[in-house]
Amino acid sequence: MRAIGVTEYGGPEALREVDLPQEPLGPGQVRVRVHAAAVNPTDTYVVNGSRNRAGVPRDVADVPGMDVAGVLAEVGPDAGTDLVAGERVMAVVVPRGQHGAYREDVVLPSGSVVRAPADTTHAEAATLPMNGLTARLALDSMGLAPGEVLAVTGAAGAFGGYVIELAKADGLIVVADAAERDEELVRSLGADHVVRRGDDVADRIRALYPDGVHGLADGAVQDEAVLPAVRDGGAVATVRFWKGDGRRGLRFHPVLVAEVAERRDLLDRLREQAEAGVLSLRVAEVLPAERADEAHQRLADGGVRGRLVLDFG
């Protein structure tokens, strides 16, 4: 079975096509024939070894990827799902060793797999699971009430974009950052106010809300640099495990999507919101799977809007 992975950690050039056995199908699991896998910043940690998972032998490929879309190929015993073979699906993958999204066949817990949004391509569907769940978890963790103000950094990215759209659906007021070239995009996603991104973004946010915002989703990973935007006792959702420094009673919520990777209800709700037009599925470009190194290099170069997606046919 064809997959894309690394046998030696490095940069994008370390990615290569490898031949792997099919994963066995067990109770409570389903098999997905992968047609598309989204390329996310988190995938680079597998490639460069910065999150080297203990016990992974180096003569076996380490396969990145957390988002897939394709066709349900097989349903295992006691799967507890109404999905049937042949349906178009999307899923979130928690990578470990050979088990990642960059493979043409993957076995997953049934709770990680739902129907793909109607009238979407495989590539479009593949952009939603991991980033959408991360955005949902960030908002749920902060627990802001309708009418409260949320700041979003990295607003033009996939995570930031989903946070904006979900926050507006939740009744929040959103102030988001953007480069000049991304301002129109960020406004189209629903931001009530757009401020220029940069090291002084906290000052720009405070100019709009002198008492500070109620919550912050820090998709740009600015950490302490953007904390002055948040009022004392406010909530902060972080995406790289940062737990804050304990100042001003701020409540920090490091978001780990693996915690909700089998929450079929949350993933299916995202499907419904995509079908209703609440969420925008943004594909930057679709590349053949064998050009994964190129996709990772483009991600490293920056400036990609929407998700690059690998096509597995």
User: What pLDDT is attached to residue 52?
Assistant: 58
User: What pLDDT is attached to residue 57?
Assistant: 47
Nearest partner of 228 among 211, 241, 240, 251, judged by Cα: 211
Percent of residues, the chain, with pLDDT higher than 70: 97
Tally Cβ neighbours within 10 Å of residue 39.
28
User: What pLDDT is attached to residue 86?
Assistant: 97
Nearest partner of 37 among 46, 29, 28, judged by Cα: 46
User: What pLDDT is attached to residue 58?
Assistant: 56
User: pLDDT of 260-287, one tens digit each?
Assistant: 999 999 999 999 999 999 999 999 999 9
CA distance to 25, 86, 91, 280, 289, per residue, from 38 (Å): 23, 21, 11, 15, 10
Using an 8 Å Cβ cutoff, are 73 and 85 in contact? yes
CA end-to-end distance (rounded Å), the chain: 13
Which regions in the chain score pLDDT beneath 70? Answer: 51-60
User: What pLDDT is attached to residue 63?
Assistant: 96
User: What pLDDT is attached to residue 61?
Assistant: 84
User: What pLDDT is attached to residue 235?
Assistant: 97
In the chain the domains, ranked by start, together with CATH numbers, are 2-128+281-311 (3.90.180.10), 131-258 (3.40.50.720)
User: What pLDDT is attached to residue 124?
Assistant: 98
The amino acid at 271: R
